[in-house]
Amino acid sequence: MLRKKSIAVVGILALAIACMQNEQDKIIRVQEEEQTSFDVSKFTGNINRDGRMIVEEVSEAFAGFLGKSIAEHGVLGSIGFCNENAFPFMDSLAHYYGVNLKRTALRYRNPDNKPDTLDRIMLENMEKEAAQGAEPGPKSIKFSSGESVYYSPIIMKPLCLQCHGIKMRGDIQDEVWAKIRELYPEDVAYDFNLNELRGAWGVLFPNEYRARRGKPDPIAIPK
């Protein structure tokens, strides 16, 4: 119980720090907190490998909770899951891995996910790759400060169509559409097709990053 609370609080702190960041220097400070037991064998300290692993685990966790929420509360009832939980959930996982995490997209729903200059360059590059028929791949960038950022494409899956799919085709139910418009009046994150590039995960590694984290467990999920 106690741990759950402290992780949630740290999540909020991390979010506050992330919000205060200057877009120019992209420096991410990660809370240095007590480290408990981690399955370090899975993590190597190499940002490309760890970045891929983190994205795999985080996107799996996201899709898993979203799928469960849809099964229990329906699509309409799950918009709240994304609305209220996406940020705290991401932040608690980020803290768990000792990195900072973001989801961003050229066409975004929540303006808090708006791409910064570097995000935009990376996303446009992925779009270009996709337009040429290639599968956009992950990319990483190392800054002279020692920080690194790993970008990984987010691709549309069947589940996603229900909230990001093609409106005219009827992918998004009317009541779901109405709720999305109400919560996000400026939303442009729809009319995506299956397998289309939806956006990207960004994993920001601090320069003191060491492979030190294991698989997140359910206590990282905020209520």
Site for ligand HEC, rule CB under 6 A:
63, 66, 75, 78-79, 82-83, 86-87, 103, 105, 108-110, 113, 154, 156-157, 159-160, 162-164, 189, 198-199
CB of 19 to ligand HEC, least distance (A): 13
Q: Give DSSP secondary structure letters for 36-47.
A: ----GGG--S-H
Between residues 105 and 211, which has the closer beta carbon with respect to ligand HEC?
Answer: 105
CB of 40 to ligand HEC, least distance (A): 29
Between residues 58 and 154, which has the closer beta carbon with respect to ligand HEC?
Answer: 154
Between residues 26 and 198, which has the closer beta carbon with respect to ligand HEC?
Answer: 198
CB of 139 to ligand HEC, least distance (A): 17
Between residues 27 and 75, which has the closer beta carbon with respect to ligand HEC?
Answer: 75
Residue 137 neighbours by CB distance under 10 Å: 10
Between residues 75 and 143, which has the closer beta carbon with respect to ligand HEC?
Answer: 75
CB of 119 to ligand HEC, least distance (A): 11
Alpha carbons 80 and 85: distance in angstroms, whole number: 8
CB 191 within 8 A of CB 166: yes
Between residues 198 and 213, which has the closer beta carbon with respect to ligand HEC?
Answer: 198
CB 145 within 8 A of CB 27: yes
CA 128 to each of CA 188, 190, 195: distance values in angstroms, whole numbers, following the listed order: 20, 20, 15
Phi-psi region of 138 (alpha: psi -120 to 50; beta: other; left: phi over 0): beta
Segments in the chain forming alpha helices (H): 2-20, 47-97, 117-131, 158-164, 174-183
CB 97 within 8 A of CB 14: no
CB of 21 to ligand HEC, least distance (A): 17
CB of 212 to ligand HEC, least distance (A): 27
Residue type, 179: K
